Amino acid sequence: MLVTIAVAAAVAAPLPSALAAHSSDTRSLPKGDLIVIFSGSGGGSYRYHEPARGAGSACRSADTTYSESDNYRWYYRFVLSPAGGSSDSPVAEAGGGQLQGSEQLAQCAGSAALTSTCTQALQTPFASNTADLAYPGVVAGGSGRTITVGAIGELIPGQPQCNGLSIFAPNPIQGFSQLQASVSFDRAALQQSGDEIRHFTMAGSGLYDGVTLAANCNSTSCDTSDCSLDATPAGGPPASCSYSESYSGTIEIRVVK
């Protein structure tokens, strides 16, 4: 899960399909209904290095370096009653992205060195994904002068396309799989303008061996599957890993006039 939320000043432009939907989404809706739009973009990277175990003909595992990157954009639009409430049924959605991974294995015990690459497309979820904890949804409510809106969404990976081994490794932070944010609006300002936008940024990261960050990696070892604290089995040189992920966007709320 991403661990930091803050207000940001910049945000990516809406997806082209979202722009087309924006101009016509109020024509058939009752006056007073609320339109909530959750959109943004993000990306990150993940890397680990596992030193070789043994040398020459005694090599038991090759020196391994794995790198992965991702980038993505999303747009989800919901309609709520004037009283707010919740919805897990977006009336419009758009988005996508790509994962790219590369693994390099050095020569080991006579085996040739090998480089493998994979790409994997990201897409908006299907109706069959409604049971996902991060299936797109929104909640709006509050009292007095403030309305608070929380939103969640996801992008799901398609089939990987690989050259060499199928090498996508578990990434400890996958921003695209649990997009989320919560912002507040002034009720009077919303009623006056009819359209208010709040920006957000979320980010998480972990560092190489030698630095501890939120119990993710320590100076001794770093498990290559999830970057959690883990003693190096049977001694030998430690692995090292790093990861980073961030996304930013907006939650917009509009009153149908």
**For 38-87, how does the pLDDT look when each residue is reduced to its tens digit (9 = 90+)?**
999 999 998 888 888 888 899 988 988 889 999 999 999 999 999 999 99
What pairing do the DSSP bridges indicate for beta strands 156-157 and 146-153? unpaired
Per cent of the chain over pLDDT 70 is 75
For the cut 50, the answer to whether the pLDDT of residue 99 exceeds it is: yes
- The Cβ of residue 135 has, within 10 Å, a number of other Cβ atoms equal to 18
Determine the Cα–Cα distance for residues 120 and 168; give it in Å rounded to an integer: 9
pTM above 0.85, yes or no: no
Determine the Cα–Cα distance for residues 176 and 71; give it in Å rounded to an integer: 8
**For 159-177, how does the pLDDT look when each residue is reduced to its tens digit (9 = 90+)?**
999 998 888 887 767 889 9
Q: Check: CB of residue 214 under 8 Å from CB of residue 157.
A: no
Residue 213 or residue 56, greater confidence = 56
The dihedral of CA 27, 29, 30, 31: what is its sign?
A: negative
The helix (run of H) or strand (run of E) holding residue 22 is helix 16-22
Mean predicted confidence (pLDDT) in 239-247: 79
What values do phi and psi take at 183, rounded to 5? -140, 165
For the cut 60, the answer to whether the pLDDT of residue 227 exceeds it is: no
Collapsing DSSP to helix, strand or coil, 27 comes out as coil
Q: Check: CB of residue 108 under 8 Å from CB of residue 85.
A: no
Which amino acid belongs to residue 117? Answer: T
Q: Check: CB of residue 249 under 8 Å from CB of residue 10.
A: no
For the cut 80, the answer to whether the pLDDT of residue 141 exceeds it is: yes
Domain ranges of the chain: 8-24+33-206+247-255
Per cent of the chain over pLDDT 90 is 56
Helices (H), strands (E): how many in the chain? 2, 13
Q: Check: CB of residue 207 under 8 Å from CB of residue 217.
A: yes
Collapsing DSSP to helix, strand or coil, 16 comes out as helix
Looking at residue 25, its pLDDT comes to 54
